[in-house]
Amino acid sequence: MTDEELKELFRELEAQGWNPQLCDTPVPVYDTPVHCGDPTELGDVVSDEVMMPRKWTSLNRTYLTTVQGDSMKDADILEGDLVKVEEVGTYNDGDILLVSVDGEYALKAYCRDENGTPWLVPQNKAYNSIRFHDHQEVIVKGVVREVVKRTPRISYRSCISAINKTKAKLAERREVTPDIVTAALQQIAPDIKVARWWYAVFRVLADAGVMKAKDYDAFCVLVREAVPDHPRLPAADELQRMAVDSFAKPVARWTPTDAPVKGKRYDDYLTIAQRMQKLLDGD
């Protein structure tokens, strides 16, 4: 979209009574939560950036950080909220400040008493106010300009970290040979109390690439060769009936709300699948 096309879109939205804003200014989001109770270190690690309209920021440095604790709950600042903080040199009674108290960070309301003594005031009767002069060093880092009640969101850095951890674990998995599969089938067999539970075993083998998807006949042959005397051998047509809803997907994507069985029956299938995976992994 060109600049002119974007301007035309904004004009059309404004004509309809909207107030569109271009999110063109990155605002850092700090990784460490700011406590609303006891102070804590904010740190200097930026976990993400949120794009905001330029007019929503200022010439002063602006950033976002996450709230933790409940001492500001009466000001409707709750745990998990984001607060937008502007670094300014002036502030007034009633302003909510991000302060460093002896090197640790917290959110508190600012107020001078009748004697002119400055206090940091929590908005929860369960907490005591903090008098500036009771601490070696109190530094005001900024004023809270906005509280963002946002939809839960995980930072990109956290997601990538989790993904890389899983990738590393997958890379360490040993090669699944026919001997390993046979041994795993023999070890899991005593746990199979219902013939259809073999579907959980089949799904794990399919996820590992050992079995082709929907090749239930080949799986039944494999099981009969590994445990010919098992009292509840699988049947291809019975296994096929289980491959619906989330059970038609890899085990990692099974969900109790979208499965062909519910409650304890779902837990039984999941337990079998998890145990079979551990046997393949050599755990």
Query: pLDDT tens, 230-265?
Result: 999 999 999 999 999 999 999 999 999 999 999 999
The per-residue pLDDT of the chain, averaged, comes to 81
Query: What does the pLDDT read at residue 42?
Result: 45
Are 217 and 123 in a shared domain? no
Has residue 153 been placed in a domain? Answer: no
Are 223 and 271 in a shared domain? yes
Has residue 154 been placed in a domain? Answer: no
Residue 151 confidence class, pLDDT cut points 50, 70, 90: low
Has residue 163 been placed in a domain? Answer: no
Q: pLDDT digit string (tens) for 2-56?
A: 666 656 665 776 677 766 555 555 555 555 555 444 444 444 444 455 555 555 4
Question: Distance between CA atoms of 104 and 274, rounded to whole angstroms?
Answer: 44
Question: What pairing do the DSSP bridges indicate for beta strands 34-35 and 62-68?
Answer: parallel
Would the pLDDT of 69 be above 70? yes
Of 115, 148, 181, the residue at which a domain comes to its end is: 148
CB within 8 A of 77, min separation 6: which ones? 36, 67, 83, 96, 107, 123, 144, 147
Query: What does the pLDDT read at residue 176?
Result: 83
Between these two residues, 58 and 238, which has the higher pLDDT value? 238
Are 141 and 175 in a shared domain? no
Nearest CA-CA partner of 130 in 100, 158, 159: 100
Residue 134 confidence class, pLDDT cut points 50, 70, 90: low
Most confident of the following: 22-31, 124-133, 189-198: 189-198
Has residue 17 been placed in a domain? Answer: yes
Of 116, 148, 180, the residue at which a domain comes to its end is: 148
Query: What does the pLDDT read at residue 80?
Result: 80
Average pLDDT over residues 259-280: 94
Q: pLDDT digit string (tens) for 89-124?
A: 788 899 999 888 777 778 899 998 998 888 999 898
* pLDDT over 70, % of the chain: 76
Has residue 253 been placed in a domain? Answer: yes
Are 43 and 176 in a shared domain? no
Q: Determine contact, residues 85/144, Cβ cutoff 8 Å.
A: yes
Which CATH number covers residue 29?
2.10.109.10
Range of the domain at 29: 3-148
Tally the domains of the chain.
Answer: 2
Has residue 156 been placed in a domain? Answer: no
Are 30 and 123 in a shared domain? yes
Are 136 and 193 in a shared domain? no
Average pLDDT over residues 153-162: 76
Has residue 160 been placed in a domain? Answer: no
Would the pLDDT of 217 be above 80? yes
Average pLDDT over residues 65-87: 85
Whether the model pTM is above 0.85: no
